Amino acid sequence: MSNIELHQDVHRAMSEKGAEEAAEYFSPDIVLTDEARGLTLKGKEQVTGWLAAWKSAFSDARIADATYLESGDWTISRFQGRGVNDGPLGELPATGRQLDLPFCELVRWQDDQSVEVAIYYDTASIMVQLGHMDPPA
């Protein structure tokens, strides 16, 4: 299976089933950097918990309109993260509003498992779309 197919499988698992199923593709010592929040997570348990928090805030969370590129042991995906905010997002209450946000994700693969992930997105757009912040003037 190619690294792109693995990346697609992780996205499909997350969209259709959730964090635990996506975690089947993670190495035990995976490192994920959430660049938007300046957060680095280490190990399968922490990364799975981070994904589960997204799925808890957006129970219908799905990855849509994804494109994939491969270079060596890295894959890159651009996609839209979509879902209705029907659960708390950290300390913020659910709003019932739709999120439709562009993401960029880089994944390094080793022995058919993801060992390193960097994800980029815009936190201000999340706050505006969910009604927690007014759009900039």
pLDDT at 27: 98
pLDDT at 1: 87
Residues (pLDDT < 70) of the chain are: none
User: Considering only CA atoms, which of 28, 41, 56, 55 is closest in space to residue 114?
Assistant: 28
pLDDT at 49: 97
**Which amino acid, residue 18?**
G
pLDDT at 125: 96
Residues sharing a CB contact under 8 Å with residue 117, sequence separation 6 or more, in sequence order: 30, 31, 32, 33, 47, 105, 106, 107, 108
| CATH T-level fold of 3-129 | Nuclear Transport Factor 2; Chain: A, (3.10.450)
pLDDT at 30: 98
Q: Give phi and psi for 58, each to the nearest 5.
A: -135, 85
This prediction's pTM: 0.94
What's the rounded Cα separation, in Å, for the pair 89 and 53?
8
